[in-house]
A and B are shown apart, each in its own frame.
Chain A
Amino acid sequence: MMGTMTTNVQTPATAAQKTTILPPALVLIAGWLIPGAGHFLLKKWIRGGLLFVSIVTMFGIGLALKGKVYGPNTAELLDMLNFAGDLGTGLLYVLARAFDLGQGAVQIAIADYGTKFIVVAGLLNIIAAVDAHSLATGRKAS
Chain B
Amino acid sequence: MTISHFGAVLLFSLFTSIVFGITQRSEPKMMIRFGAFCFALFVGGTIVASWLMWMIKH
Contact = CB atoms under 8 A, between A and B. Distances in A.
Main secondary structure of the interface of A (DSSP, over half): helix
A117 B12 contact: yes
Interface of B: 1-3, 8, 11-12, 14-16, 18-20, 22-23, 26-27
A65 B15 contact: no
A20 interface: no
A142 B2 contact: no
A127 interface: yes
B19 A57 contact: no
Given A57-B15, A58-B11, A130-B23, 16 more contacts: A54-B18, A58-B12, A61-B1, A110-B3, A113-B3, A113-B8, A116-B12, A117-B12, A120-B12, A120-B16, A124-B16, A127-B19, A127-B20, A128-B19, A128-B23, A142-B26
